[in-house]
């Protein structure tokens, strides 16, 4: 029987996954973590979920050679680094973003936990990965007829939503980049947010270990549920020989 560890505030999306996976009556229990880690001895998927904040994720990506927007722990002082976006260590739907156009803006806006350079973009993707397998990729597109309230925040409130991409339209290098990002955080699965800049480069922004789900028919969550059920049927195989995974 699978046990789900669901982080506070992730109940609705965690419950969707739990319903899709269902449950067997196997005597051996496995654990599935959704935004929340687990340090028990049971076989576990995503035991390290939630153990890295947003800044730590960027630091780990950089150490692994994965491209991210330039970032700083302190507000930069050199004018050529601006504009920058101020962020918090934990955030949801980009509601924490502050736009700093120059160093003096700290007097008006205060300080954030860390900062990333504003990179002009053409689009943004969310790619679902399970153990280096590509499950689905969505593109963040603006919905018709919705007025955008922010120039820097492309979230649902500002009229953006993720739309499933056909496999032939997914950038060729994207699944590998996202697989590396999930793996360098020690996770089994995740939904990776990637921005395509106007320079054509793909910048990894973060890995969501409890991504938002808009209904049980979403391709990504259904594919993940099938992988989890298969993991249980195969008696909880480890990931790359790692313990507890």
Regarding whether 157 and 62 lie in a shared domain, the answer is yes
Regarding whether 59 and 167 lie in a shared domain, the answer is yes
Per-residue confidence (pLDDT) for residue 245, from 0 to 100: 45
Regarding whether 145 and 35 lie in a shared domain, the answer is no
Regarding whether 113 and 124 lie in a shared domain, the answer is no
Q: Is 224:17 a contact under the CB 8 Å cutoff? A: yes
Per-residue confidence (pLDDT) for residue 8, from 0 to 100: 84
Q: How many Å apart are CA 100 and CA 91, to the nearest integer?
A: 18
With 80 as the cut, is the pLDDT of residue 223 above it?
yes
Mean pLDDT of 167-191: 97
Both tokens assigned to 165: 């991409």
Regarding whether 159 and 60 lie in a shared domain, the answer is yes
Q: What are phi and psi of 199, to 5 degrees?
A: -85, 0
Per-residue confidence (pLDDT) for residue 60, from 0 to 100: 98
Write the DSSP assignment of 78-135 as a string of letters: -GGG-SEEEE-SS-STTTT-EEESSGGGHHHH---SEEEE---EEEEEEEEEETTEEE
State how many domains the chain has. 3
- List the domain range (segments joined by +) for residue 96: 76-117
With 70 as the cut, is the pLDDT of residue 148 above it?
no
Average per-residue pLDDT for the chain: 88
Q: How far is it between the farthest Cα atoms of the chain?
A: 62
- The contacts found for 82-86 with CB under 8 angstroms, 24 or more apart, are 82/118, 83/117, 83/118, 84/115, 84/116, 84/117, 84/118, 85/115, 85/116, 85/117, 85/118, 85/152, 86/111, 86/112, 86/113, 86/114, 86/115
With 60 as the cut, is the pLDDT of residue 147 above it?
no
Regarding whether 148 and 56 lie in a shared domain, the answer is yes
| Each residue's pLDDT tens digit, 85-109 | 999 998 766 678 999 999 999 988 8
Regarding whether 181 and 129 lie in a shared domain, the answer is yes
Per-residue confidence (pLDDT) for residue 174, from 0 to 100: 98
- Global pTM? 0.90
Per-residue confidence (pLDDT) for residue 80, from 0 to 100: 94
Per-residue confidence (pLDDT) for residue 244, from 0 to 100: 47
pLDDT higher at 145 or 245 = 145
| Each residue's pLDDT tens digit, 32-74 | 999 999 999 999 999 999 999 999 999 999 999 999 999 999 9
Helix H or strand E segment including 183: helix 174-184
């Amino acid at each position: 029987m699978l046990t789900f560890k669901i982080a506070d505030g992730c109940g609705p999306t965690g419950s969707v996954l739990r319903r899709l996976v269902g449950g067997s009556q196997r005597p051996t229990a496995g654990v599935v973590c959704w935004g929340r880690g687990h340090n028990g001895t049971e076989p576990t998927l995503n035991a390290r979920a939630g153990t890295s904040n947003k800044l730590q994720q960027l630091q780990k990506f950089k150490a692994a050679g994965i491209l991210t927007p330039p970032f700083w722990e302190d507000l930069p002082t050199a004018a050529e680094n601006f504009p920058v976006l101020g962020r918090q260590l934990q955030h949801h739907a980009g509601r924490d973003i502050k736009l700093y156009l120059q160093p003096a803006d700290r007097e008006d806006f205060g300080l954030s936990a860390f900062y990333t350079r504003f990179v002009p973009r053409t689009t943004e993707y969310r790619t679902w990965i399970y153990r280096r397998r590509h499950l689905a990729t969505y593109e963040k597109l603006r919905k018709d007829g919705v007025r955008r309230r922010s120039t820097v925040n492309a979230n649902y409130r500002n009229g953006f939503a993720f739309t499933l991409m056909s496999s032939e339209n997914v950038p060729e290098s994207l699944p590998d980049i996202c697989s590396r990002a999930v793996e360098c955080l020690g996770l089994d699965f995740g939904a990776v947010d990637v921005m395509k800049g106007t320079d054509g480069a793909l910048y990894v922004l973060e890995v969501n270990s409890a991504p938002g789900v808009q209904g049980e028919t979403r391709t990504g969550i259904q594919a993940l549920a099938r992988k989890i059920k298969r993991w249980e049927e195969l008696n909880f195989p480890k990931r790359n020989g790692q313990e507890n995974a």
